[in-house]
Amino acid sequence: MKKFGSVLLTLALAGSVLAGCGQNAQQAPTASAGDQANNAAQAPAEQEEKTEELSGEVLIAGSSTVYPITIIAAEKFMEENPGVNVSVASTGTGGGFKKWQVGETDINNASSKIKDSVIEEAKKHGIEPLELTVAYDALTVVVNKENDFVDSMTVEELKKIWEPNSTVKLWSDVREGWPKEEIKLYGPGTDSGTFEYFTEQIVGEAKSSRTDYTPSEDDNVLVQGVAGDKYSLGYFGYAYYAENSDKLKAVPIVNPETKEAVMPSDEAIENGTYKPLGREIWIYPSKQALKKPQVAAFVKFYMENAAEYAKEAGYTPLPAEKYDVERKELEEALKALQ
């Protein structure tokens, strides 16, 4: 019976370990999210015309921004091709390319363009990329809901805040008339494509940023941070703002060409006025992987339906003619591989 005590201890210890994990899940839920995805789940089951049964696996890693679109494509593809296993990991653009360049994955999701160093490293392993744009995303700069003084920001102001060795400590350092309150900064971690794209567009050099901000690879942590602090500022992909627009305020960004402040929205991204933070997001199948029939079939399927899936995941689809261009590129690449 004496041992019973140590059993309890075991349970308590195990419990506390788990409770620690649980902390991550403390995000307050908002009602009614996900309802819209309800009806769309039923994929049209028209697989009669399929000629031969595909099998094998398709391995995908990379950007967490592209992940929600890719899993829709993966799930619908597997409904029509039950013999194929499509597995998707969410590793961040950079982490995904490290696996992709040595051939451990077939496709990489990316929210920033492939780098020359990755292309070179991949070449050593006999791997070549094919770049396919799947949707638009708007990097969204957000402030607290109670922030009533920020009505727009310019690229220069953002640069002043985010550049390395920035001297901005107070809001009043950014623009005269703004309160003398400390500005609390939240942003994605350095392995993220969002970080890379933002720094490239705003600071002028990819991955060049001040370092004294609160970074997180988990965008919901950034949402919580900005939502909980009146004088905070952060940036992340539009989907996270859209789901939390009751808790956050998006900052209209002044378009450097027209000098007009533009709110991030589907229209603004599509007609190109949301600049410079409107961006494309990509998938990078390797040409070698495309030789496998199941990978080629999946990428084709993805690109045929990308507009629908992008919309469902909360992103802005490309104009139809742009998808045609991407599909043509894919067709040509596939033909060249035969």
Partner 1 sequence: MTKLRKIKDVFFKWLFFAATAFGMLSLVVLVVDILYQGLPRLSWEFITNFPSFNPDKAGIKAAILGSVWVIGLTAPMALFLGVATALYLEEYAKKNWFTRLIQTNISNLAGVPSIIYGILGLALFVRAMKLGPSILAGAFTMALLVLPIVVVAAQEAIRAVPQTLRHGAYALGASKWQTIRGIVLPSAAPGILTGMILSLSRAIGETAPLVVVGAFVFVRFAPTDPLDKFTVLPIQIYSWVSQPKAAFHELAASGIIVLLIVLLLMNATAVLLRNKYQKRF
Residue 139 has, within 13 A of its CA and on its CB side, a CA count of: 27
Binding of partner 1 by 22 (CB under 8 A): yes
Residue selected from 54, 66, 72, 248 as contacting partner 1 according to rule CB under 8 A: 72
Please identify, using beta-carbon distances, which residue of 203 and 285 lies nearer to partner 1. 285
Please identify, using beta-carbon distances, which residue of 21 and 336 lies nearer to partner 1. 21
Residues 182-211 that bind partner 1 (CB under 8 A): none
Nearest distance in Å: CB 305, partner 1: 13
Binding of partner 1 by 152 (CB under 8 A): no
Binding of partner 1 by 37 (CB under 8 A): yes
Binding of partner 1 by 55 (CB under 8 A): no
Of 193, 139, 191, 203, the C-alpha closest to 166 is 203
| Phi, psi angles (nearest 5°) of residue 188 | -75, 160
Residue selected from 5, 16, 51, 167 as contacting partner 1 according to rule CB under 8 A: 16
Please identify, using beta-carbon distances, which residue of 255 and 286 lies nearer to partner 1. 286
Stretch that binds partner 1, among 46-54, 117-125, 263-271, 308-316 (CB under 8 A): 308-316
Residue 239 has, within 13 A of its CA and on its CB side, a CA count of: 22
Q: Cα torsion for 191, 193, 197, 203, to the nearest 10°? A: -10
| Measured distance CA(319)–CA(66) in Å, rounded | 18
143: which residues sit within 8 A by CB, 6+ positions away? 150, 226, 232, 233, 248, 249, 251
Please identify, using beta-carbon distances, which residue of 278 and 314 lies nearer to partner 1. 314
Give the Cβ contact number of residue 28 at 10 Å.
Answer: 9
Residues forming a β-bridge with 234: 142, 186
Of 96, 38, 84, 119, the C-alpha closest to 299 is 84
Nearest distance in Å: CB 243, partner 1: 4
Footprint on this chain of partner 1 (rule: CB under 8 A): 3, 6-7, 10-11, 13-19, 21-27, 29-31, 33-34, 37-38, 40-41, 57, 59, 61, 64, 67-68, 70-72, 74-75, 78, 85-91, 99, 102, 104, 217-220, 239-240, 242-244, 312-314
